[in-house]
Structures are given as C-alpha cells and as structure tokens.
Amino acid sequence: GAVVSQHPSWVICKSGTSVKIECRSLDFQATTMFWYRQFPKQSLMLMATSNEGSKATYEQGVEKDKFLINHASLTLSTLTVTSAHPEDSSFYICSAPALPYQETQYFGPGTRLLVL
Amino acid sequence: AQKITQTQPGMFVQEKEAVTLDCTYDTSDPSYGLFWYKQPSSGEMIFLIYQGSYDQQNATEGRYSLNFQKARKSANLVISASQLGDSAMYFCAMREGWTGNQFYFGTGTSLTVIP
C-alpha cells in the first residue's frame, strides 16, 4: 500500500535553532499534504495544508513565519520550525490523501521534536 | 461546535471480549467520510476502517466494524475478540466533502485490554 515517510523521526535541538522536517509520499503523488501537531495525550490538530506549487494554507492561530511550509514537488513537503522554543516541543505528523477518488489518507510515522 | 466528539477518554476490556468505542459527528455537508485510526505508543496513525456517508451498509474490516447510524450522526467502532495488541489510542475522524480535504479528529479514546 501507499507509504508516507517522515524524516527525522526524532530531533532534539537548542532553543533558537531551526528544524526542518520532511514528509515524502513514497509510491504516489500528493498535490496536497497536511501537517498536524499532537501534544501528549491530546488529539491531532491541523496546522496547515501544504499545496504543491503554491502557498500553504494555515489554520487560525498558527504562525506562518514560524512554521514555514514548502511543497516543492509532488512527493515532498517540508515543515521548518524557525527559532524553535520549548513550547514548540511536540509530535508532528504529516498526511497525504491517497490517489484521487480514494477516500483514505496516509499518515507519516511522525516526528518527535524536543526543544531544550 | 466540535466536528467529532469522543466521550470516552479511557476504556477497559477483557481479552477476547468485544468493545464499542463511541463517536458522534457534526456536519451539514451531505458528502463526508468517517474514519477510525489506531495510534499505539509509537505514535504512528494506523488506518482501521472507513465509512462513506452514502454507504448503505456498515463497514467491516476483520475484527473491526463500524456501527453507522446516520440519523443519529454516530459512527461507533466495534472491536470484536479483543487482543492485548489492541491496547492503544483510537481516534475517530471525519472528512467533509470529497477526497483530498482535511480531516477533523476527535479527542481520542485510550483502550486498555486486560489479560
């Protein structure tokens, strides 16, 4: 079946640094990808919709300049957490819809970010 | 209003017994999809089952079945013959409209299977 990968799976960084997380669709093309954030014992909260070849659409309350999203190709979307702070520590998950007219979405394995 | 409501923060079930995880949804869109995902401690989201708003029959996938009651806007997940490996967080989700749109997730239910 379709697979979505994320890299890295774990990242620990110092406060003030930037962290880039990659989301790849491995055997299908994705013109749209979604980025979620999940705090411990909470649900997934949609951060933004990544659109290939155009600007991302951010959910209310998500800072565009802090969470930079680039969807440069049909198989790759990147989320960059700029000037990360401890409160940005979270589990970040991306997803991509399956082929057109298939209902499900495929989720990446997630990236755990810890900002010290 | 919440799009997806899961009222059971935690559930316990005896191994080999069946368990029902509740989910209600709210939408005015006639076209929508309902999903259940399992999230073990590793964090990955594992797709379990899907129900389309126009589907006449309840979806089934192995030990998983979805009790779809459209008039009540509920989409409960039934796990039969529970196994220890079923212990995980379970999320109900909804997609409004056709494929490609964003998902709305419930707050999840933590299921613990007791040996």
A43 to B106: CB separation less than 8 angstroms, yes or no: yes
Q: How far is CA A92 from the centre of its chain?
A: 6
Q: To probe the interface with B, which of A95, A104, A106 has the most B CB atoms within 10 Å?
A: A104
Q: Would the CB atoms of B99 and A100 count as touching at under 8 Å?
A: yes
Residues A11, A19: contact at Cβ < 8 Å? yes
Confidence (pLDDT) at A72: 84
Longest Cα pair distance anywhere in chain B, in angstroms? 42
User: In this predicted structure, what is the pLDDT of residue B99?
Assistant: 61
For chain B, the average pLDDT equals: 93
Contacts of B107 in chain A (CB under 8 A): 42-43
CA distance B13 to A53: 48
Chain B's closest residue to A30, CA to CA, is B100
Where is mean pLDDT largest: A2-16, A24-38, B69-83? B69-83
- Token digits of residue A22: 């990659």
CA–chain centroid gap for A59, Å, is 13
Task: Sort out which chain B residues have CB atoms less than 8 A from A45's CB and list them.
Answer: 105
- Contacts A44 to B, Cβ<8 Å: 45, 91, 103, 105
Q: In terms of Cα–Cα distance, which of B2, B49, B66, B70 is closest to A45?
A: B2
Q: Which of B22, B41, B34 is nearest to B86 (CA)?
A: B41
| Distance of residue A82 Cα from the nearest chain B Cα, in angstroms | 24
> Which pLDDT tens digit goes with each residue over A59-112?
999 999 999 999 989 999 999 999 999 999 999 999 988 765 556 788 999 999
How many angstroms separate the most distant Cα atoms in chain A? 43
Q: Which residues pair with residue A96 across a beta bridge?
A: A106
Mean pLDDT value of segment A20-47: 91
Confidence of residue A1 (pLDDT cuts 50, 70, 90): low
Judged by CB atoms closer than 8 Å, whether chains meet at A32 and B95 is answered as no
Answer whether B50's CB lies under 8 Å from B97's CB.
Answer: no
Task: Say what the pLDDT of residue B54 is.
Answer: 92
Task: Give chain A positions within 8 Å (CB) of B92.
Answer: none
- Identify the three-state secondary structure at position A86: helix
> Which residue among B45, B99, B108 places its CB closest to the CB of A97?
B99
Q: Return phi, psi of residue B45, to 5°.
A: -95, 115
| Nearest of B14, B12, B61 to residue B35 by alpha carbon | B61
Residue B55's contacts (CB-CB under 8 Å, 6 or more residues apart) are B68
The tokens of A47 are what? 């951060």
pLDDT confidence of B101, banded at 50, 70, 90?
confident
